[in-house]
Structure 1
Amino acid sequence: MQITFLGTSSGVPTRSRNVSSVALRLPQRAEFWLFDCGEGTQHQLLRSDLKISQLTRIFITHLHGDHIFGLMGLLATYGLAGHPTRIDIYGPPGLNEYLRACERYSYTHLSFPLKVHTVQPGLIYEDEEFTVFCGPLKHRVTAFGYRVMEKDRPGSFNVEKAAELGISPGPIYGRLKRGEQVTLPDGRQINGASLCGPTEIGRKFVYCTDTVYCDGAVELAQDADVLIHEATFAHQDAQLAFERLHSTSTMAAQVALGAGAKLLIMTHFSPRYAPGNDLQLNDLLLEARAIFPNTEMAYDFLTYDVPRRK
């Protein structure tokens, strides 16, 4: 799991920050998933190490423009580049209608399969390696946060130990690596788990924006290895945060603390904290760290490899 921030500003882009988008790269399967797609996201992808041909899933939190205005352009480019692979898009009610209207009025024909999933709280996707859940956040429009959970895997297979037991390499190794009980040709029964190291605990990635502090975010972020949470405002601007249903730096930290997250990475910063102003982004970082010390501040093209649990 590798995270790349493609946009970290709220509302409008700035000279150094684009609007919201985060990529979750899954190197073991040569693909990446996108979370939100603000205007200019495809330009940010071109400046990154990510390959648009490896995009397979897009998760949209809500239908405000700074989170979706880049979506149709990205899809059109994907099609013009000749990528036939299906893309699945997940998001709130109205997303499918928005995309179909964009197609109709821009006379865009998408030359690849596109499936739009209208999400409800709970499990929205599962395969042999991952599950994805969504949960309600508290914003001015319907908004969801997303939780990606990597499934636990058996530990490393001990080839030397298998050889000592007289087990020849072949298809049987695959079953033993999965921890299955196997009967050998000579009648011996071998528990594959006994030939594997400690179970590799799956990692948890959580993305919460846009939202004011809410129990839904805390629930979604439980025991997360990485929590990405919006921090639009500084603590002294909490009244603005409540009026606009956005979070302050301290609210983001309180979510991480309440959820028992391992790391908080804040994003979605208001342009009002630009260099030269009375309050700057480093002040937001200090506010958050006073509550949750393991807090970092995102910037465009920041990459972070989510470590495996020990």
Structure 2
Amino acid sequence: MDIFFLGTGAGMPAKLRNVTAIALKLLEERGAVWLFDAGEATQHQILHTSIKPRRIEKIFITHLHGDHIYGLPGLLSSRSFQGGDTEVTVYGPKGIKEFIHVSLSLSQTYLKYPLSVIEISEGIIFEDDQFSVEARLLDHGIPSYGYRVVEKDRPGTLLADKLIEAGVQPGPIFKKIKNGEAITLDDGSIIEPHHFLGPEQKGRIVTILGDTRFCENAILLAKNADLLVHEATFSKGEEKLASDYFHSTTHQAAEIAREAGCKQLCLTHISSRYDRNDWKELVDEAKEIFPNTDISEDFKEINIPLN
């Protein structure tokens, strides 16, 4: 599981930071990529990476401001030409369905794959046997959602040597035991899986928030997260400006991470008023409150190891 930043700026494209797009790479877990927001030129950013658009399975839109959605129609269109034939599901606030429909219909764009668009409300918006995704409203000028991605706990490592000692030969039985199935052998003895599996592997939690002021829902979504991705449009001391524009400062993002008990914080949505020489200062500001803080850059990747 890896987070890959395709765009990390605020408001409009800048030379050092494109507008918002974040890829959650789940290649080992499900052979897929989940995208969070798709600002202008997201597909151009992808061209400079190893990410394959045909691998994109789900797209989660935080809110409908242009710097988070203007790249979506182009990406959906190009995916057809890049070998994508599997279904894509787009989740987002009310209005995302109309935005996509109008963009594709007026441009007479034909998709060669099924597209499902789900307009969300608060709560669990997706769940299968591997992951669940929870959405909650944040505090922005328009409806803006944060997303909490929870990986479900995995069975422990199969203790193959112990199974062989018990007279079980490698083969299909190993897979059944790994999946938690009890097996009856030819001699009538029963192999209980919990005796032949290592400790259960705890699932990981990633929280990706849309634009927001400091709010309680951000803390709830980030509770005990392995990684929190939080906007920090402004530096500390600019709380009044951040509030006026419905954004957060470095200190406010760090306070969310601290109160939520996160393991790691990564700042994003950085205003172009701060150049490369200022970025370390922004990180240091957040570290005053939450030491394990990093700052995003376009094409930066963060691995989220198993617990």
Say yes or no: TM over 0.5: yes
Contact 1:135-1:216 within 8 A present in 2 as well: yes
| 1:306 maps to amino acid | I
TM-score (normalizing by structure 1)? 0.96
Match of 2:110 in 1: 109
Backbone CA RMSD of aligned residues: 1.2
CA apart distance, 1:84 = 1.4
- Equivalent positions of 1:175-254 (< 5 A) are 175-254=176-255
Q: Deviations over 1:183-218 (max 9, x none)?
A: 222222222011111111111111012000100000
Local SS of the residue matching 1:272: coil
CA apart distance, 1:274 = 2.0
In 2, the alpha carbon distance for the partners of 1:226 and 1:282 equals: 19
Local SS of the residue matching 2:203: coil
TM-score (normalizing by structure 2)? 0.97
Match of 1:284 in 2: 282
| 2:7 maps to amino acid | G
CA apart distance, 1:130 = 1.1
CA apart distance, 1:81 = 2.8
More deviation in 102-111 or 218-227? 102-111
Local SS of the residue matching 2:237: helix
| 1:180 maps to amino acid | E
CA apart distance, 1:281 = 2.4
Match of 1:128 in 2: 129
Contact 1:230-1:266 within 8 A present in 2 as well: yes
Q: 1:297 aligns with which of 281, 295, 298?
A: 295
Match of 2:306 in 1: 308
CA apart distance, 1:275 = 4.9
| 1:14 maps to amino acid | A
Contact 2:234-2:250 within 8 A present in 1 as well: yes
More deviation in 101-110 or 142-151? 101-110
More deviation in 101-110 or 51-60? 101-110
Q: Deviations over 1:152-203 (max 9, x none)?
A: 1111101111011111233222221123333222222222011111111111
CA apart distance, 1:131 = 1.1
In 2, the alpha carbon distance for the partners of 1:9 and 1:97 equals: 26
Local SS of the residue matching 1:235: coil
Match of 1:5 in 2: 5
Match of 2:17 in 1: 17
In 1, the alpha carbon distance for the partners of 2:144 and 2:187 equals: 59
More deviation in 288-297 or 190-199? 190-199
In 1, the alpha carbon distance for the partners of 2:280 and 2:164 equals: 56
| 2:34 maps to amino acid | W
| 2:26 maps to amino acid | L
| Paired positions, count | 306
Identity %: 44
Contact 1:177-1:193 within 8 A present in 2 as well: no
Q: Deviations over 1:253-309 (max 9, x none)?
A: 011001100000000001111257xxx222221110000000000000001110111
Is the counterpart of residue 89 in structure 1 residue 90 in structure 2? yes
Match of 1:99 in 2: 100
In 1, the alpha carbon distance for the partners of 2:282 and 2:168 equals: 58
- Equivalent positions of 1:71-86 (< 5 A) are 71-86=72-87
Structure 1 residues 300, 275: closer, same or farther in 2, change over 3 A? closer
Match of 1:154 in 2: 155
Gaps of 5+ in 2: none
In 1, the alpha carbon distance for the partners of 2:116 and 2:284 equals: 42
More deviation in 224-233 or 184-193? 184-193
In 2, the alpha carbon distance for the partners of 1:132 and 1:222 equals: 14
Match of 1:268 in 2: 269
| 2:202 maps to amino acid | I
In 1, the alpha carbon distance for the partners of 2:272 and 2:196 equals: 55
Local SS of the residue matching 1:62: coil
Local SS of the residue matching 2:13: coil
CA apart distance, 1:23 = 0.3
| 2:21 maps to amino acid | S
Gaps of 5+ in 1: none
